[in-house]
Chain A
Amino acid sequence: MIEVHEVSKMYGKKKSLDRLSLSVKKGQVYGLLGANGSGKSTLLKVLATVTNASGGNVTIAEYDIKKQAKPIRELIGYVPQELSIWEEVTVYENVRYWSAFSTKKLTKSALITHLERIGLGERANDKVKTLSGGMKRKLNIVIALLHDPHILLMDEPTVGIDFQSKFEINQLIKQLAKEGKTIMYTTHDVIEVLFLCDEIGVLKDGQLYYSGTLSEARMKAGAVAHEWSDEEVLYRLVNGQLF
């Protein structure tokens, strides 16, 4: 579904992605891990057509990202790390505004259904600035779902929120995965990785350090890794100390 081939991205002289290649299958939940500055968000921005790669090729659902960005944009739902919402207007107005950017026609009841799905139905008429951090995160996510995308690109969707909201968001992601959506997801939360991801990719200095399942990583690390907990395996992976 997503094929990344030798993609590089430069910000001035700084290399954020360095000839990175990976592939994500249809219906998979793919967790992107890595230390801060490893290139996770940059990769998602490239895939979401927010920024252009400096080199390499990307195809999404067989569309070339350089030449066919428009159909790709209708296929993807991007959840940026920052809250991309209008604070001064209501929750409902936010989803109404954002629905104007897709070709899909959504009625008022359809928009309310989207909000209810993530537990924001009762707050539809409240101004966004009165919502808690968790609720704002939920709204940030639901905006990406309005046009029913096949692929979700989520950049730390649960960062800095309460446990309840985090749990509800993770349940929603699980549900979306069951519906057959392909999800690429960045996080620093180990529990989320274990709970949600079918496969993980670990980035280090803009390069792919590892891609596969957690058990495959453990096997690859050898006998010594059998004694380690999942958390420790992930810790060593992210720090580049497993292999």
Chain B
Amino acid sequence: MKLLRMVLYKLFFKPTALLLLFLVPIGGVLLFGTLVEKGQQEIAIPIAIVDEDDQPFSQAVVDHISNQDRISVVTTSRDEASDMLLRHEVDSVYVIKEDFEAALKRGDRRETIEVWTSPHSLTTGIVNEIIASMVVRLTSSVNAADRVLVLSSLLELPLEAGENVVWQETFEFSESQWDPEPLLTIDYRDISNGGETVDTTGHWLNPYLGMWTFFTLLISILVTDWVIREKGLILPRVRSTFAGIRKYLVVHFMVYVSFFMLQTLVTYFILLYLNKVEPSVSLFVSMMLFGCVSMAISFLLAAWSKNLVSYYILGMMIVVGLSLVGGSIIPVHELAEGLRVTSTFLPHHAVIYSHSVSLYTFFMTGIVACGMLILAIKRLEGLK
């Protein structure tokens, strides 16, 4: 307890380190995450949608397209959309015609949406598919609702709530079947790669998580420089004390990891509050483990570095290198095949692609962090 109090006191004595520990990852995530997200939006292919019907069905189509990665949607008027296409400000224009909802409810889905393209249009095929899937979905829900009314009529079942209410309830029930997993999905195949199906989940990197992993590792390197500062003069004397060097290092590690976990907790809830991440236990656990691994990497590096200069230089190389390969800065699928495989072993990957992380990965990450910490302590214990 005495040693724990001492380490806490040492940490609080340097408020800059404490502030760095909290402010840099959180501030970096919010600032750079926003910038990267904005950049992603800017490089997304713009399309214009003219919603002349302005009914729930047409709005559902607009929302569905807006949620697609790499497509940015501008909703505008017919004239403005035409001008934008001529000025090459949008790739293509989709006009959801008046009577769209009524037509679908009648079971007529032909010529309900107009598509304007230019010779330079790139996304028409993809957007057509997306819109078609949405139209099929709405139509099938309408059909289901109609079918219920027809069946109740044939079977002479009394509809106490009234036909409209039953139709609406059936429609909504049918729509709810698309969550959480859609009933219909589109597979994209890479022709250049033998027609292999391309995994598009997470293709568009969550910039907030990427930036968080980058800044958390960076800060863990910066706040662990005390090991280098104390390695020459303080640690040899610590070795001659009753508490000993192992206890001193472990207490330090635990204190720093606790602060990292607190920082992770704050970051996670900020991102949740800002709707930048979905509530996810695996993401939360991945982020917590990332803090432990970052500290273990920093301890290991500090244990082997000869001086502060080499520690900082190597530290920066490790932060940038691991962040690049781990997918913090660029999406992993854009890396070379070898690097893509390597990235799956990095803790960054577990955070950024937490939806596909298994319990085994968590377990192995914990083992690796403990292994690195033990190696670092052994090294520092053995230094003469």
Q: Contacts A84-B233, A89-B13 given: A76-B240 contact, CB under 8 Å?
A: yes
A101→B13 contact, CB < 8 A: no
Question: Is A86 in contact with chain B by the CB < 8 A criterion?
Answer: yes
A49→B242 contact, CB < 8 A: no
A11→B237 contact, CB < 8 A: no
Q: Which residues of A contact B341 (CB under 8 A)?
A: none
B237→A84 contact, CB < 8 A: yes
Q: Number of A interface residues, CB 8 Å? A: 30
A100→B3 contact, CB < 8 A: yes
Question: Is A27 in contact with chain B by the CB < 8 A criterion?
Answer: no
Give the CA-CA distance A48 to B241 in the complex, in Å: 9
Interface residue SS majority, chain A: loop
Question: Is B232 in contact with chain A by the CB < 8 A criterion?
Answer: yes
Question: Is A45 in contact with chain B by the CB < 8 A criterion?
Answer: yes
- Whose C-beta in chain B lies nearest to the C-beta of A70? B242
Q: Which residues of B contact A62 (CB under 8 A)?
A: none
A48→B240 contact, CB < 8 A: yes
**B224-237 interface mask toward A, CB cutoff 8 Å, 1 = contact, 0 = none?**
00000000111011
A101→B242 contact, CB < 8 A: yes
Q: Shortest CB–CB separation between residue B308 and chain A, in angstroms?
A: 15
A83→B233 contact, CB < 8 A: yes
- Whose C-beta in chain B lies nearest to the C-beta of A89? B13
- Whose C-beta in chain B lies nearest to the C-beta of A78? B240
Q: Shortest CB–CB separation between residue A124 and chain B, in angstroms?
A: 16
The listed residue with most B CB atoms (<10 A of its CB), out of A49, A78, A89, A101, is A101
Question: Is A190 in contact with chain B by the CB < 8 A criterion?
Answer: no
Q: Which residues of A contact B234 (CB under 8 A)?
A: 84-86
Q: Which residues of B contact A51 (CB under 8 A)?
A: 384
B243→A74 contact, CB < 8 A: no
Q: Contacts A11-B384, A93-B13 given: A101-B243 contact, CB under 8 Å?
A: yes
Residues 329-384 of B contacting A (Cβ, < 8 Å): 384
Residues 62-81 of A contacting B (Cβ, < 8 Å): 70, 73-74, 76, 78, 80
- Whose C-beta in chain A lies nearest to the C-beta of B241? A101
Q: Contacts A51-B384, A97-B6, A100-B3 given: A78-B237 contact, CB under 8 Å?
A: yes
Give the CA-CA distance A128 to B233 in the complex, in Å: 15
A100→B237 contact, CB < 8 A: no
Question: Is A239 in contact with chain B by the CB < 8 A criterion?
Answer: no
B242→A147 contact, CB < 8 A: yes
The listed residue with most B CB atoms (<10 A of its CB), out of A45, A49, A74, A84, is A84
B236→A80 contact, CB < 8 A: yes
Q: Shortest CB–CB separation between residue B239 and chain A, in angstroms?
A: 5
Question: Is A174 in contact with chain B by the CB < 8 A criterion?
Answer: no
20 contacts between A and B (CB under 8 A): A49-B239, A49-B240, A50-B239, A50-B384, A70-B242, A73-B241, A76-B240, A78-B240, A80-B233, A82-B233, A82-B236, A85-B233, A96-B6, A97-B6, A99-B2, A100-B3, A100-B5, A100-B6, A102-B241, A105-B2
Q: What are the 3 A-B residue pairs with the smallest beta carbon separation, nearest first?
A: A101-B241, A100-B6, A84-B237
Known: A50-B240, A78-B237, A84-B233. 20 other contacts (CB 8 A): A48-B240, A49-B240, A73-B240, A73-B241, A73-B244, A76-B240, A82-B236, A84-B234, A84-B237, A85-B233, A97-B6, A97-B9, A98-B241, A100-B2, A101-B3, A101-B241, A102-B243, A105-B2, A143-B237, A147-B242
